[in-house]
Amino acid sequence: MSESFDFENDDEAQEILGIRDIQLRMIRDGFGVQAVARGRRLDLDGDADRVEQARIAVEAMLTAHRKGGGKSPEEILDTALQKFRDGDSVASVEGDLFEDSTTAEGDAPQGMPQGLPRGSLQKIARTPGQARYLEALEKHDIVMSLGPAGTGKTYLAVKAAVEALKAGEVRKLILSRPAVEAGEKLGFLPGDFQQKVNPYLRPLYDALHEMLDYDQVRRYSDREIIEVVPLAYMRGRTLNNAFIILDEAQNTTTAQMKMFLTRMGARSRIVVTGDPTQLDLPKGQPSGLLHARRVLGSVKGISWVELEAADIVRNPLVTRIVKAYERHEGGTP
């Protein structure tokens, strides 16, 4: 049995087939069919029952993409494959297309992303500074957060990103850090590329694992719904429908910061976090974060949030340590 699909344009083909054809491979391997993509055409061939189940799944993915809102094509495929593995009919996946997507008066029109309800993140704020930060995350497309360690800059940004992904407001989470050694020379690091950069990116994975279980993070990473990458690998990209976080931004150069902020595409949001007191750049190298504060401080649409020692939510001793350093660096005995 054979079935064919013609996509309306290249964007639709990528939405259904996935970046680097990852969803095409999932269709082929998950349903056990031949699945071949040529340009804007997808051909399915194989056992009649398996092809029929794959056809239903692809049609549901197309419907999700063309109507918008509700579940994404990736989520529809995940659900369909799970039903197929469980021996259930994939036909019921069509009823899951717009689960939790009903609207009330005053909400966004049906078929449009709902986004995060105003104030939905406020309940997790533990200090007034965090409340201001979370409000900025809900209202602005670009938020620049400065503050000492332990104030929740990264955790709250990742929390907002995960909630935006769950709400269907974005389709990708991209978390990035500059790969800068923290005041010590590590020398040659063994292993492949991923093993070399993982130590620099580990704090971002730690934050993700606070909100998603390990299987979810691995599954989303495999499908490139979540990317954790060194800052250098952001160059040349245009990121649409994405929630993008740059952590440890005090260690960016001015050129890197400009490069990162200009990656922003349609329907995307950016959060930049950094602690200006913990610079690991070579002596004399200006910080891209502090430079951006001077250059972009008055640009409309960018929110600057400065957290303080009073916003630290780690062990109370951390607050005293930060304040002691502030007094020392300020010349107070």
Residue range 17-45: mean pLDDT, rounded: 89
Q: 211-259 pLDDT, tens per residue?
A: 888 888 888 888 888 998 889 889 889 899 999 999 999 999 999 999 9
Confidence (pLDDT) at 95: 56
Residue 199: band (very low, low, confident or very high) from pLDDT cuts 50, 70, 90: low
Residue 46 has pLDDT above 60, yes or no: yes
Residue 112 has pLDDT above 80, yes or no: no
122-329 falls under which CATH superfamily?
P-loop containing nucleotide triphosphate hydrolases (3.40.50.300)
Residue 78: band (very low, low, confident or very high) from pLDDT cuts 50, 70, 90: confident
Residue 120: band (very low, low, confident or very high) from pLDDT cuts 50, 70, 90: low
Going by C-beta distance under 8 Å and a sequence separation of 6 or more, which residues neighbour residue 221? 227, 228
pLDDT, greater one: 257 or 23: 257
d(CA 311, CA 59): 49
Confidence (pLDDT) at 326: 80
Give me the residue spans of the domains in the chain. 2-96, 122-329
- φ, ψ at 257 (rounded to 5°): -65, -45
Confidence (pLDDT) at 194: 52
Identify the helix (H) or strand (E) that includes residue 305. strand 302-306
Residue type, 43: D
Residue 197 has pLDDT above 90, yes or no: no
Residue range 90-96: mean pLDDT, rounded: 64
* Dihedral over alpha carbons 274, 278, 282, 283 (to 10 degrees): 120
What's the start-to-end Cα distance of the chain, in Å?
Answer: 82
Residue range 181-190: mean pLDDT, rounded: 47
Positions of E strands within 106-265: 142-146, 172-177, 226-230, 242-246
Tokens 């005041």 correspond to 183
Confidence (pLDDT) at 115: 43
Confidence (pLDDT) at 183: 44
- What Rg do the C-alpha atoms of the chain give, in angstroms? 23
CB-CB contact of 261 with 253 (8 Å): no
Residue 100: band (very low, low, confident or very high) from pLDDT cuts 50, 70, 90: very low
HSE-up of residue 247 (Cα within 13 Å, Cβ side): 25
Q: What percent of the chain has pLDDT over 70?
A: 83
Residue type, 98: F
Residue 298 has pLDDT above 60, yes or no: yes
For the ranges 68-82, 181-195, 297-311, the one whose mean pLDDT is highest: 297-311
- Give pairs for 196-205: CB < 8 Å, separation 24+: 197/230, 200/230, 201/175, 201/177, 201/228, 201/229, 201/230, 203/154, 203/177, 203/247, 204/154, 204/158, 204/175, 204/177, 204/228, 204/245, 204/247
CATH number of 2-96: 3.30.1370.10
Using a 10 angstrom Cβ sphere, with 0-12 exposed, 13-18 middle and 19 or more buried, the burial of residue 255 is: exposed
